[in-house]
């Protein structure tokens, strides 16, 4: 199995690239953000809880995220692999993901990180906010807080995966096709 952790700050292009890589490598894309948005739109208990954190630019608690992730993996027993987008975000979550995959006879193949300058991220998210309907994309203060939370709480994962020789940084600026080519070059070497 090829199991990728697609990493990068909000607005780095993870969702766009995950869709392309999903098709190219026949993987199942699990975006915690998409799953949360579905639950929020349908006003489930999980959605209401997740929304209270997301609206403040905070991370959803681990227990909620991990239980949801396990259910998503279980829905796809014949998958060739997974793209985890938006998870893990902390060392504790990385350990939980490792335990989860080990229990299913597999492991994380690599963390592939899209690297993008903060000011580019802010502009991308403000632009996306004009059409996405997402409140967290429309407010520059919330956007900057999300980026700060990313660096404060999740950048540690770069070191975590580097220790396991599984971290690969990829330039996330340029045309979508150029970024896909850079990612594919890395994935094809795994």
Could you say which DSSP state residue 61 is in?
A: P
- 89 annotated active-site: yes
Q: Does 182 count as an annotated binding residue? A: no
Q: Does 21 count as an annotated binding residue? A: no
Q: Does 141 count as an annotated binding residue? A: no
- 124 annotated active-site: no
Q: Does 170 count as an annotated binding residue? A: no
Q: 38, 58, 57: which is closest to 48 by C-alpha?
A: 38
Lateral strand order in the sheet of 28-31: 28-31, 81-85, 2-7, 110-115, 167-171
Q: Which listed residue (104, 128, 144, 166) is catalytic?
A: 128
Q: Does 8 count as an annotated binding residue? A: no
- 128 annotated active-site: yes
Q: Does 144 count as an annotated binding residue? A: no
Q: Does 60 count as an annotated binding residue? A: yes
Q: Does 124 count as an annotated binding residue? A: no
Q: Which listed residue (22, 104, 134, 166) is catalytic?
A: 134
- 182 annotated active-site: no
- 134 annotated active-site: yes
CB 14 within 8 A of CB 86: yes
Q: Which listed residue (14, 51, 124, 182) is catalytic?
A: 14
Q: 7, 30, 8, 24: which is closest to 111 by C-alpha?
A: 7
Residue 154, both tokens: 């999740």
Distance, in Å, from the CA atom of 99 to the CA atom of 94, rounded to the nearest integer, reads 9
Could you say which DSSP state residue 152 is in?
A: I
Q: Which listed residue (51, 124, 146, 182) is catalytic?
A: 146
Distance, in Å, from the CA atom of 62 to the CA atom of 93, rounded to the nearest integer, reads 7
The annotation places the binding site at 11-16, 32, 37, 58-60, 86-89, 93, 128, 134, 146, 174
Residues labelled catalytic: 14, 89, 128, 134, 146
Report the binding-site residues for ATP: 11-16, 128, 174
Q: Residue positions in the annotated binding site for AMP? A: 32, 37, 58-60, 86-89, 93, 134, 146
């Amino acid at each position: 199995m090829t199991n990728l952790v697609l990493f990068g700050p909000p607005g780095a292009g993870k969702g766009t690239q995950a869709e392309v890589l999903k098709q190219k490598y026949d993987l199942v894309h699990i975006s915690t953000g998409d799953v949360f948005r579905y639950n929020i739109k349908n006003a489930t208990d999980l959605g209401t809880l997740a929304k209270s954190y997301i609206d403040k630019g905070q991370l959803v608690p681990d227990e909620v995220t991990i239980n949801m992730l396990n259910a998503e993996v279980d829905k796809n027993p014949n998958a060739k692999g997974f793209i985890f987008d938006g998870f893990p975000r902390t060392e504790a979550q990385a350990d939980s993901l490792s335990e989860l995959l080990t229990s299913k006879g597999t492991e994380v193949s690599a963390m592939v990180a899209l690297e993008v300058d903060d000011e580019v991220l802010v502009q991308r998210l403000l632009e996306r906010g004009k059409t996405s309907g997402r409140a967290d994309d429309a407010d520059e203060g919330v956007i900057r807080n999300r980026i700060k939370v990313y660096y404060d709480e999740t950048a540690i994962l770069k070191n975590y995966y580097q220790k396991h020789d599984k971290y690969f940084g990829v330039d996330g600026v340029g045309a979508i096709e150029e970024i896909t080519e850079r990612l594919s070059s890395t994935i094809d070497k795994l």
